[in-house]
Structure 1
Amino acid sequence: MSLMRKHKQRVLAEKAALKAQEEGRNTTTPREPQNSPVHILTTRLRALEVELKGLQSTDRKIKHKLAALPEFDAYLDGIVAADTKAQDDILVMLMIWHFDCVTLDPSLLQRTLDLADYALQSDMKMPDRFNRSLAGFVLAELADIALATSKLDDLTVEDRDLMVEHLNDALTWTKDHDMVDDIPARAYKAMGELIGESNIPDAISALEEAHRLDSKKAGVQTKLKQLKKLQEKQAENQDANKQNTGTNPQ
Protein backbone atom coordinates (compact mmCIF):
# COMPACT_ATOMS: atom_id res chain seq x y z
CA MET A 1 0.00 0.00 0.00
CA SER A 2 1.35 3.42 -0.98
CA LEU A 3 1.95 6.14 1.60
CA MET A 4 -0.87 8.19 0.09
CA ARG A 5 -3.34 5.31 0.35
CA LYS A 6 -2.23 4.60 3.92
CA HIS A 7 -2.76 8.25 4.84
CA LYS A 8 -6.18 8.27 3.20
CA GLN A 9 -7.20 5.06 4.98
CA ARG A 10 -6.05 6.45 8.32
CA VAL A 11 -8.01 9.70 7.85
CA LEU A 12 -11.15 7.88 6.69
CA ALA A 13 -10.97 5.47 9.61
CA GLU A 14 -10.64 8.35 12.05
CA LYS A 15 -13.62 10.13 10.47
CA ALA A 16 -15.70 6.94 10.52
CA ALA A 17 -14.97 6.46 14.22
CA LEU A 18 -15.94 10.03 15.05
CA LYS A 19 -19.11 9.73 12.98
CA ALA A 20 -20.06 6.51 14.73
CA GLN A 21 -19.52 8.23 18.07
CA GLU A 22 -21.85 11.08 17.06
CA GLU A 23 -24.51 8.53 16.10
CA GLY A 24 -24.07 6.59 19.33
CA ARG A 25 -22.97 3.30 17.79
CA ASN A 26 -19.90 1.09 17.55
CA THR A 27 -17.44 1.71 14.74
CA THR A 28 -17.99 -1.69 13.18
CA THR A 29 -21.78 -1.90 13.28
CA PRO A 30 -23.20 -2.72 9.81
CA ARG A 31 -24.33 0.79 8.92
CA GLU A 32 -21.27 1.89 7.00
CA PRO A 33 -21.59 2.33 3.21
CA GLN A 34 -20.01 -0.41 1.10
CA ASN A 35 -17.19 1.87 -0.05
CA SER A 36 -16.25 2.88 3.51
CA PRO A 37 -12.92 1.70 4.96
CA VAL A 38 -14.78 -0.06 7.76
CA HIS A 39 -16.90 -2.11 5.36
CA ILE A 40 -13.96 -2.86 3.05
CA LEU A 41 -11.67 -3.98 5.84
CA THR A 42 -14.40 -5.96 7.61
CA THR A 43 -14.99 -7.85 4.37
CA ARG A 44 -11.25 -8.36 3.92
CA LEU A 45 -10.87 -9.62 7.50
CA ARG A 46 -13.69 -12.12 7.03
CA ALA A 47 -12.07 -13.37 3.83
CA LEU A 48 -8.78 -13.83 5.64
CA GLU A 49 -10.50 -15.77 8.43
CA VAL A 50 -11.97 -18.12 5.81
CA GLU A 51 -8.48 -18.60 4.35
CA LEU A 52 -7.09 -19.35 7.82
CA LYS A 53 -9.72 -22.01 8.43
CA GLY A 54 -8.43 -23.78 5.34
CA LEU A 55 -4.95 -24.08 6.87
CA GLN A 56 -4.05 -26.89 9.27
CA SER A 57 -0.54 -25.76 10.23
CA THR A 58 -0.40 -23.27 13.11
CA ASP A 59 2.87 -21.95 11.73
CA ARG A 60 1.31 -21.32 8.32
CA LYS A 61 -1.65 -19.58 9.96
CA ILE A 62 0.63 -17.23 11.88
CA LYS A 63 2.67 -16.46 8.76
CA HIS A 64 -0.56 -15.75 6.86
CA LYS A 65 -1.68 -13.32 9.57
CA LEU A 66 1.73 -11.67 9.68
CA ALA A 67 1.67 -11.05 5.94
CA ALA A 68 -1.80 -9.48 6.18
CA LEU A 69 -1.20 -7.13 9.13
CA PRO A 70 0.24 -4.19 7.12
CA GLU A 71 -3.05 -3.93 5.21
CA PHE A 72 -4.73 -2.76 8.43
CA ASP A 73 -2.04 -0.51 9.92
CA ALA A 74 -3.47 2.77 8.66
CA TYR A 75 -6.98 1.84 9.81
CA LEU A 76 -5.74 1.01 13.31
CA ASP A 77 -3.82 4.28 13.48
CA GLY A 78 -6.97 6.17 12.54
CA ILE A 79 -9.14 4.44 15.14
CA VAL A 80 -6.62 5.08 17.91
CA ALA A 81 -6.17 8.70 16.80
CA ALA A 82 -9.95 9.27 16.91
CA ASP A 83 -9.90 8.00 20.52
CA THR A 84 -13.66 7.55 20.72
CA LYS A 85 -13.34 4.59 23.13
CA ALA A 86 -16.04 2.76 21.14
CA GLN A 87 -16.07 -0.99 20.57
CA ASP A 88 -14.17 -1.83 17.39
CA ASP A 89 -14.26 -5.49 16.41
CA ILE A 90 -11.60 -5.07 13.74
CA LEU A 91 -9.14 -3.57 16.22
CA VAL A 92 -9.78 -6.32 18.79
CA MET A 93 -9.30 -9.11 16.25
CA LEU A 94 -6.14 -7.55 14.89
CA MET A 95 -4.79 -7.11 18.42
CA ILE A 96 -5.28 -10.87 18.85
CA TRP A 97 -3.46 -11.49 15.57
CA HIS A 98 -0.61 -9.23 16.67
CA PHE A 99 -0.13 -11.32 19.80
CA ASP A 100 -0.06 -14.46 17.63
CA CYS A 101 2.57 -12.94 15.33
CA VAL A 102 4.96 -11.75 18.04
CA THR A 103 6.40 -15.28 18.11
CA LEU A 104 7.64 -14.78 14.54
CA ASP A 105 8.33 -11.05 14.73
CA PRO A 106 9.22 -9.85 18.25
CA SER A 107 9.47 -6.27 16.97
CA LEU A 108 5.64 -6.26 16.88
CA LEU A 109 5.37 -6.43 20.66
CA GLN A 110 5.27 -2.67 21.30
CA ARG A 111 2.59 -2.18 18.63
CA THR A 112 0.66 -5.10 20.10
CA LEU A 113 0.71 -3.65 23.59
CA ASP A 114 -0.27 -0.20 22.34
CA LEU A 115 -3.37 -1.75 20.76
CA ALA A 116 -4.05 -3.75 23.93
CA ASP A 117 -3.72 -0.65 26.09
CA TYR A 118 -6.17 1.28 23.90
CA ALA A 119 -8.65 -1.63 23.82
CA LEU A 120 -8.53 -1.95 27.61
CA GLN A 121 -8.92 1.80 28.14
CA SER A 122 -11.95 1.65 25.83
CA ASP A 123 -13.45 -1.33 27.70
CA MET A 124 -13.68 -3.33 24.48
CA LYS A 125 -14.95 -6.90 24.46
CA MET A 126 -13.43 -10.05 23.02
CA PRO A 127 -15.21 -11.96 20.22
CA ASP A 128 -17.95 -14.27 21.52
CA ARG A 129 -15.97 -17.43 20.76
CA PHE A 130 -13.30 -16.48 23.33
CA ASN A 131 -13.83 -17.57 26.92
CA ARG A 132 -11.42 -15.02 28.42
CA SER A 133 -12.07 -11.37 28.98
CA LEU A 134 -9.92 -8.88 27.11
CA ALA A 135 -7.87 -8.20 30.27
CA GLY A 136 -7.36 -11.90 30.93
CA PHE A 137 -6.34 -12.52 27.33
CA VAL A 138 -3.83 -9.66 27.24
CA LEU A 139 -2.13 -10.55 30.51
CA ALA A 140 -2.03 -14.28 29.71
CA GLU A 141 -0.53 -13.72 26.27
CA LEU A 142 2.10 -11.32 27.57
CA ALA A 143 2.97 -13.65 30.45
CA ASP A 144 3.58 -16.50 28.01
CA ILE A 145 5.75 -14.28 25.82
CA ALA A 146 7.71 -13.08 28.85
CA LEU A 147 8.24 -16.62 30.16
CA ALA A 148 9.59 -17.68 26.78
CA THR A 149 11.81 -14.59 26.71
CA SER A 150 13.23 -15.40 30.16
CA LYS A 151 14.59 -18.67 28.80
CA LEU A 152 16.59 -17.09 25.96
CA ASP A 153 20.34 -17.62 26.25
CA ASP A 154 21.18 -14.39 24.40
CA LEU A 155 18.74 -12.12 26.26
CA THR A 156 20.24 -8.64 26.68
CA VAL A 157 19.90 -6.53 29.81
CA GLU A 158 17.96 -3.93 27.80
CA ASP A 159 15.48 -6.48 26.46
CA ARG A 160 15.09 -8.03 29.91
CA ASP A 161 14.36 -4.70 31.55
CA LEU A 162 11.94 -3.73 28.78
CA MET A 163 10.00 -6.98 29.19
CA VAL A 164 9.78 -6.43 32.96
CA GLU A 165 8.45 -2.93 32.23
CA HIS A 166 5.84 -4.39 29.87
CA LEU A 167 4.73 -6.84 32.56
CA ASN A 168 4.44 -4.07 35.15
CA ASP A 169 2.36 -2.00 32.71
CA ALA A 170 0.04 -4.91 31.89
CA LEU A 171 -0.43 -5.79 35.55
CA THR A 172 -1.37 -2.16 36.20
CA TRP A 173 -3.82 -2.08 33.29
CA THR A 174 -5.55 -5.27 34.41
CA LYS A 175 -5.40 -5.05 38.22
CA ASP A 176 -9.08 -4.08 38.56
CA HIS A 177 -10.30 -6.78 36.16
CA ASP A 178 -11.56 -10.15 37.34
CA MET A 179 -9.74 -13.20 35.98
CA VAL A 180 -8.57 -16.62 37.12
CA ASP A 181 -5.60 -16.35 39.49
CA ASP A 182 -3.23 -18.44 37.40
CA ILE A 183 -2.99 -15.63 34.81
CA PRO A 184 -1.46 -12.94 37.06
CA ALA A 185 0.50 -15.74 38.76
CA ARG A 186 2.17 -16.52 35.42
CA ALA A 187 2.89 -12.83 34.91
CA TYR A 188 4.58 -12.55 38.31
CA LYS A 189 6.48 -15.79 37.69
CA ALA A 190 7.77 -14.39 34.39
CA MET A 191 8.78 -11.17 36.13
CA GLY A 192 10.68 -13.05 38.83
CA GLU A 193 12.42 -15.26 36.28
CA LEU A 194 13.44 -12.25 34.21
CA ILE A 195 14.73 -10.21 37.13
CA GLY A 196 16.54 -13.14 38.70
CA GLU A 197 19.89 -12.36 40.27
CA SER A 198 19.98 -8.82 38.90
CA ASN A 199 17.75 -7.73 41.80
CA ILE A 200 17.20 -10.63 44.18
CA PRO A 201 14.70 -8.91 46.55
CA ASP A 202 12.47 -7.85 43.64
CA ALA A 203 12.71 -11.29 42.03
CA ILE A 204 11.80 -13.00 45.32
CA SER A 205 8.86 -10.63 45.81
CA ALA A 206 7.49 -11.39 42.33
CA LEU A 207 7.91 -15.15 42.71
CA GLU A 208 6.29 -15.14 46.14
CA GLU A 209 3.31 -13.29 44.70
CA ALA A 210 3.08 -15.90 41.95
CA HIS A 211 3.11 -18.65 44.61
CA ARG A 212 0.48 -16.83 46.68
CA LEU A 213 -1.85 -16.58 43.71
CA ASP A 214 -1.39 -20.14 42.48
CA SER A 215 0.50 -22.28 44.99
CA LYS A 216 -0.28 -25.56 43.21
CA LYS A 217 0.71 -24.71 39.64
CA ALA A 218 3.00 -21.66 39.77
CA GLY A 219 6.13 -23.80 39.86
CA VAL A 220 8.35 -21.21 41.51
CA GLN A 221 9.50 -23.01 44.65
CA THR A 222 12.83 -24.22 43.26
CA LYS A 223 13.75 -20.78 41.94
CA LEU A 224 12.68 -19.17 45.21
CA LYS A 225 14.91 -21.49 47.23
CA GLN A 226 17.87 -20.75 44.95
CA LEU A 227 17.41 -17.00 45.22
CA LYS A 228 16.88 -17.03 48.98
CA LYS A 229 20.00 -19.15 49.45
CA LEU A 230 21.97 -16.73 47.31
CA GLN A 231 20.52 -13.79 49.25
CA GLU A 232 21.64 -15.34 52.53
CA LYS A 233 25.12 -15.96 51.15
CA GLN A 234 25.39 -12.36 49.96
CA ALA A 235 24.27 -11.12 53.38
CA GLU A 236 26.92 -13.30 55.06
CA ASN A 237 29.60 -11.93 52.72
CA GLN A 238 28.52 -8.36 53.46
CA ASP A 239 28.71 -9.00 57.20
CA ALA A 240 32.16 -10.52 56.82
CA ASN A 241 33.34 -7.55 54.77
CA LYS A 242 32.04 -5.14 57.40
CA GLN A 243 33.89 -7.02 60.13
CA ASN A 244 37.10 -7.04 58.10
CA THR A 245 36.75 -3.34 57.35
CA GLY A 246 36.22 -2.57 61.01
CA THR A 247 39.33 -4.49 62.10
CA ASN A 248 42.38 -2.25 62.37
CA PRO A 249 45.63 -3.80 61.10
CA GLN A 250 48.36 -4.26 63.76
Structure 2
Amino acid sequence: MRDTPISRHLKKIAATPVDAGQPVGAATRMQARAQDLMRAKLATDQQRLKATKSIARKIEIKREVLPDYAAYVAEVLAQDAGTQDDVLLTLMVWLIDVGSIDAALAIAQYAIRHGLAMPAPFERSLAEVIAESIAETPDVPAGLLARAIELTDGHDMVDQVRAKLYKAYGLAIAADSPATAADALRRALALNDKIGVKRDIARIEASISVSGKSGKDADT
Protein backbone atom coordinates (compact mmCIF):
# COMPACT_ATOMS: atom_id res chain seq x y z
CA MET A 1 0.00 0.00 0.00
CA ARG A 2 1.34 3.44 -0.91
CA ASP A 3 2.32 5.70 1.99
CA THR A 4 -0.17 8.56 1.82
CA PRO A 5 -1.96 10.63 4.47
CA ILE A 6 -5.07 8.53 3.88
CA SER A 7 -3.23 5.23 4.20
CA ARG A 8 -1.50 6.39 7.40
CA HIS A 9 -4.83 7.46 8.88
CA LEU A 10 -6.46 4.14 8.01
CA LYS A 11 -3.56 2.18 9.47
CA LYS A 12 -3.95 4.19 12.67
CA ILE A 13 -7.66 3.36 12.80
CA ALA A 14 -6.99 -0.31 12.09
CA ALA A 15 -4.34 -0.47 14.81
CA THR A 16 -6.50 1.21 17.46
CA PRO A 17 -7.97 -1.45 19.75
CA VAL A 18 -11.59 -1.12 20.80
CA ASP A 19 -11.71 -0.81 24.58
CA ALA A 20 -13.93 -3.46 26.14
CA GLY A 21 -15.38 -0.72 28.32
CA GLN A 22 -16.54 1.31 25.35
CA PRO A 23 -20.25 1.26 24.49
CA VAL A 24 -21.43 -1.36 22.03
CA GLY A 25 -21.04 -0.02 18.52
CA ALA A 26 -17.73 1.76 19.10
CA ALA A 27 -16.08 -0.31 16.39
CA THR A 28 -18.94 0.47 14.04
CA ARG A 29 -18.57 4.21 14.69
CA MET A 30 -14.85 3.96 14.05
CA GLN A 31 -15.59 2.17 10.80
CA ALA A 32 -18.10 4.89 9.90
CA ARG A 33 -15.42 7.57 10.32
CA ALA A 34 -13.10 5.63 8.05
CA GLN A 35 -15.95 5.15 5.58
CA ASP A 36 -16.55 8.92 5.45
CA LEU A 37 -12.89 9.41 4.58
CA MET A 38 -13.03 6.72 1.92
CA ARG A 39 -16.28 8.07 0.51
CA ALA A 40 -14.62 11.43 -0.07
CA LYS A 41 -11.65 9.79 -1.76
CA LEU A 42 -13.93 7.58 -3.84
CA ALA A 43 -15.84 10.62 -5.09
CA THR A 44 -12.55 12.19 -6.21
CA ASP A 45 -11.44 9.00 -7.96
CA GLN A 46 -14.83 8.60 -9.63
CA GLN A 47 -14.61 12.14 -11.01
CA ARG A 48 -11.22 11.25 -12.43
CA LEU A 49 -12.70 8.16 -14.07
CA LYS A 50 -15.66 10.12 -15.40
CA ALA A 51 -13.29 12.56 -17.08
CA THR A 52 -11.47 9.68 -18.81
CA LYS A 53 -12.84 8.30 -22.08
CA SER A 54 -10.49 5.36 -22.64
CA ILE A 55 -11.66 2.10 -21.04
CA ALA A 56 -8.06 0.88 -20.90
CA ARG A 57 -7.01 4.06 -19.12
CA LYS A 58 -9.93 3.75 -16.68
CA ILE A 59 -8.66 0.29 -15.73
CA GLU A 60 -5.15 1.68 -15.27
CA ILE A 61 -6.52 4.36 -12.94
CA LYS A 62 -8.43 1.80 -10.90
CA ARG A 63 -5.32 -0.35 -10.61
CA GLU A 64 -3.37 2.73 -9.51
CA VAL A 65 -5.78 3.87 -6.78
CA LEU A 66 -7.01 0.56 -5.38
CA PRO A 67 -4.01 0.10 -3.03
CA ASP A 68 -5.09 3.28 -1.24
CA TYR A 69 -8.22 1.46 -0.07
CA ALA A 70 -6.54 -1.80 0.98
CA ALA A 71 -6.32 -1.05 4.70
CA TYR A 72 -9.94 0.08 4.79
CA VAL A 73 -11.18 -3.08 3.04
CA ALA A 74 -9.14 -5.30 5.35
CA GLU A 75 -10.51 -3.54 8.43
CA VAL A 76 -14.15 -3.71 7.27
CA LEU A 77 -13.86 -7.44 6.60
CA ALA A 78 -12.11 -8.01 9.92
CA GLN A 79 -14.70 -6.05 11.93
CA ASP A 80 -17.50 -7.98 10.17
CA ALA A 81 -20.09 -5.37 11.18
CA GLY A 82 -22.28 -6.00 8.14
CA THR A 83 -23.47 -2.42 7.70
CA GLN A 84 -24.34 -1.13 4.23
CA ASP A 85 -21.13 0.10 2.62
CA ASP A 86 -21.34 1.63 -0.85
CA VAL A 87 -17.60 2.26 -0.92
CA LEU A 88 -16.80 -1.40 -0.31
CA LEU A 89 -19.20 -2.60 -3.01
CA THR A 90 -17.81 -0.15 -5.56
CA LEU A 91 -14.31 -1.38 -4.77
CA MET A 92 -15.49 -4.96 -5.29
CA VAL A 93 -16.49 -4.07 -8.85
CA TRP A 94 -13.23 -2.21 -9.45
CA LEU A 95 -11.26 -5.25 -8.28
CA ILE A 96 -13.11 -7.38 -10.81
CA ASP A 97 -12.42 -4.78 -13.49
CA VAL A 98 -8.66 -5.01 -12.89
CA GLY A 99 -8.72 -8.81 -12.71
CA SER A 100 -8.26 -9.21 -8.94
CA ILE A 101 -11.05 -11.76 -8.74
CA ASP A 102 -9.89 -13.46 -5.55
CA ALA A 103 -9.89 -10.17 -3.63
CA ALA A 104 -13.27 -9.24 -5.11
CA LEU A 105 -14.77 -12.57 -4.03
CA ALA A 106 -13.65 -11.96 -0.45
CA ILE A 107 -15.73 -8.77 -0.46
CA ALA A 108 -18.56 -10.50 -2.32
CA GLN A 109 -18.77 -13.25 0.28
CA TYR A 110 -18.98 -10.67 3.08
CA ALA A 111 -21.56 -8.60 1.20
CA ILE A 112 -23.83 -11.53 0.37
CA ARG A 113 -23.62 -12.94 3.89
CA HIS A 114 -24.76 -9.60 5.31
CA GLY A 115 -27.37 -8.90 2.63
CA LEU A 116 -25.80 -5.68 1.33
CA ALA A 117 -27.33 -3.94 -1.69
CA MET A 118 -25.53 -2.51 -4.70
CA PRO A 119 -25.40 1.30 -4.67
CA ALA A 120 -26.55 3.61 -7.46
CA PRO A 121 -26.01 3.66 -10.39
CA PHE A 122 -25.94 -0.16 -10.40
CA GLU A 123 -29.34 -1.50 -11.44
CA ARG A 124 -28.71 -5.21 -10.94
CA SER A 125 -28.72 -7.03 -7.62
CA LEU A 126 -25.52 -7.86 -5.75
CA ALA A 127 -25.59 -11.50 -6.90
CA GLU A 128 -26.19 -10.46 -10.51
CA VAL A 129 -23.30 -7.98 -10.47
CA ILE A 130 -20.96 -10.61 -9.04
CA ALA A 131 -22.03 -13.29 -11.53
CA GLU A 132 -22.08 -11.12 -14.64
CA SER A 133 -18.92 -9.13 -13.91
CA ILE A 134 -16.85 -12.23 -13.21
CA ALA A 135 -18.36 -14.17 -16.12
CA GLU A 136 -17.42 -11.38 -18.53
CA THR A 137 -13.84 -11.08 -17.26
CA PRO A 138 -11.38 -12.88 -19.56
CA ASP A 139 -9.22 -15.77 -18.35
CA VAL A 140 -10.69 -16.19 -14.87
CA PRO A 141 -9.37 -19.45 -13.34
CA ALA A 142 -11.94 -22.22 -13.14
CA GLY A 143 -11.65 -22.40 -9.36
CA LEU A 144 -12.69 -18.77 -8.97
CA LEU A 145 -15.59 -19.23 -11.39
CA ALA A 146 -16.70 -22.20 -9.30
CA ARG A 147 -16.57 -20.02 -6.17
CA ALA A 148 -18.70 -17.39 -7.90
CA ILE A 149 -21.27 -20.03 -8.87
CA GLU A 150 -21.39 -21.40 -5.33
CA LEU A 151 -21.59 -17.92 -3.80
CA THR A 152 -24.50 -16.79 -5.97
CA ASP A 153 -26.36 -20.10 -6.02
CA GLY A 154 -29.85 -19.72 -4.61
CA HIS A 155 -29.91 -15.96 -5.11
CA ASP A 156 -32.51 -14.69 -7.55
CA MET A 157 -31.21 -13.26 -10.81
CA VAL A 158 -32.20 -13.11 -14.46
CA ASP A 159 -31.49 -16.40 -16.23
CA GLN A 160 -29.28 -14.77 -18.86
CA VAL A 161 -26.80 -13.63 -16.22
CA ARG A 162 -26.53 -17.02 -14.54
CA ALA A 163 -26.15 -18.59 -17.99
CA LYS A 164 -23.07 -16.43 -18.63
CA LEU A 165 -21.43 -17.72 -15.47
CA TYR A 166 -22.10 -21.37 -16.31
CA LYS A 167 -20.82 -20.81 -19.85
CA ALA A 168 -17.59 -19.25 -18.59
CA TYR A 169 -17.09 -22.10 -16.12
CA GLY A 170 -17.83 -24.79 -18.69
CA LEU A 171 -15.36 -23.38 -21.19
CA ALA A 172 -12.71 -22.94 -18.49
CA ILE A 173 -12.77 -26.64 -17.52
CA ALA A 174 -13.44 -28.12 -20.96
CA ALA A 175 -9.90 -29.41 -21.46
CA ASP A 176 -9.47 -31.01 -18.03
CA SER A 177 -13.03 -32.08 -17.13
CA PRO A 178 -15.01 -32.43 -20.37
CA ALA A 179 -17.99 -34.27 -18.85
CA THR A 180 -18.46 -31.64 -16.14
CA ALA A 181 -17.89 -28.91 -18.71
CA ALA A 182 -20.61 -30.32 -20.95
CA ASP A 183 -23.01 -30.39 -17.99
CA ALA A 184 -22.22 -26.74 -17.17
CA LEU A 185 -22.75 -25.69 -20.79
CA ARG A 186 -26.04 -27.58 -20.97
CA ARG A 187 -27.10 -25.72 -17.83
CA ALA A 188 -26.19 -22.44 -19.52
CA LEU A 189 -28.17 -23.43 -22.61
CA ALA A 190 -31.21 -24.36 -20.52
CA LEU A 191 -31.12 -20.92 -18.93
CA ASN A 192 -30.62 -19.06 -22.20
CA ASP A 193 -31.02 -20.79 -25.55
CA LYS A 194 -29.18 -17.91 -27.24
CA ILE A 195 -26.06 -18.18 -25.07
CA GLY A 196 -24.06 -19.65 -27.97
CA VAL A 197 -22.75 -22.94 -26.57
CA LYS A 198 -24.32 -25.55 -28.86
CA ARG A 199 -21.16 -26.00 -30.92
CA ASP A 200 -19.05 -26.16 -27.77
CA ILE A 201 -21.28 -28.87 -26.34
CA ALA A 202 -21.11 -30.84 -29.60
CA ARG A 203 -17.32 -30.50 -29.71
CA ILE A 204 -16.91 -31.63 -26.11
CA GLU A 205 -19.33 -34.53 -26.51
CA ALA A 206 -17.41 -35.64 -29.61
CA SER A 207 -14.12 -35.54 -27.69
CA ILE A 208 -15.67 -37.59 -24.87
CA SER A 209 -16.92 -40.12 -27.41
CA VAL A 210 -13.50 -40.40 -29.04
CA SER A 211 -11.82 -40.80 -25.65
CA GLY A 212 -14.27 -43.53 -24.73
CA LYS A 213 -13.61 -45.43 -27.94
CA SER A 214 -9.87 -45.07 -27.48
CA GLY A 215 -10.17 -46.52 -24.01
CA LYS A 216 -12.14 -49.50 -25.28
CA ASP A 217 -9.63 -50.11 -28.08
CA ALA A 218 -6.80 -50.09 -25.54
CA ASP A 219 -8.59 -52.77 -23.51
CA THR A 220 -8.99 -55.15 -26.46
TM-score, normalising length from structure 2?
0.85
Report if the CA contact (8 A) 2:92-2:107 is conserved.
yes
| Aligned counterparts of 1:189 and 1:202: Cα–Cα separation in 2 | 12
Change (3 A) 1:71 1:130: same
Report if the CA contact (8 A) 1:192-1:202 is conserved.
yes
Q: 1:45 is matched with which residue?
A: 42
Q: 2:25 is matched with which residue?
A: 22
Q: Between Structure 1 and Structure 2, how many residues are aligned?
A: 212
Report if the CA contact (8 A) 2:73-2:88 is conserved.
yes
Spell out the pairing of 1:156-175 with structure 2 (5 A cutoff). Answer: 163-175=141-153
Identical amino acids, percent of aligned pairs: 27
- CA apart distance, 1:57: 1.6
Q: 2:190 is matched with which residue?
A: 212
| Aligned counterparts of 1:77 and 1:192: Cα–Cα separation in 2 | 32
Which SS does the other structure have where 1:123 is aligned?
Answer: coil
Change (3 A) 1:94 1:70: same
Which SS does the other structure have where 1:51 is aligned?
Answer: helix
- CA apart distance, 1:197: 3.0
Change (3 A) 1:114 1:22: same
The answer to whether structure 1 residue 149 and structure 2 residue 153 are counterparts is: no
Indicate the RMSD between aligned Cα atoms, in angstroms: 2.6
The answer to whether structure 1 residue 123 and structure 2 residue 115 are counterparts is: yes
Spell out the pairing of 1:225-236 with structure 2 (5 A cutoff). Answer: 225-236=202-213
- CA apart distance, 1:229: 1.4
Q: 1:179 is matched with which residue?
A: 157
- CA apart distance, 1:203: 1.3
Structure 1 stretches of 5 or more lacking a match? Answer: 103-107, 151-162, 245-250
Amino acid at match of 1:115: I
Partner deviation per Cα, 1:204-244 (whole Å, 9 max, x = no partner): 111111111111x21111111111112222222222232x2
Amino acid at match of 2:205: K
Partner deviation per Cα, 1:112-152 (whole Å, 9 max, x = no partner): 2111111111211111221110110001111112xx217xx
Change (3 A) 1:21 1:117: farther
Structure 2 stretches of 5 or more lacking a match? Answer: none
Report if the CA contact (8 A) 2:101-2:144 is conserved.
no
Q: 1:76 is matched with which residue?
A: 73
- CA apart distance, 1:83: 0.5
Report if the CA contact (8 A) 1:10-1:74 is conserved.
yes
Q: 1:90 is matched with which residue?
A: 87
- CA apart distance, 1:2: 4.0
Q: 2:201 aligns with which of 218, 221, 224?
A: 224
Q: 1:247 is matched with which residue?
A: none
| Aligned counterparts of 1:21 and 1:68: Cα–Cα separation in 2 | 33
Q: 1:158 is matched with which residue?
A: none
Which SS does the other structure have where 1:149 is aligned?
Answer: coil
Report if the CA contact (8 A) 2:142-2:173 is conserved.
yes
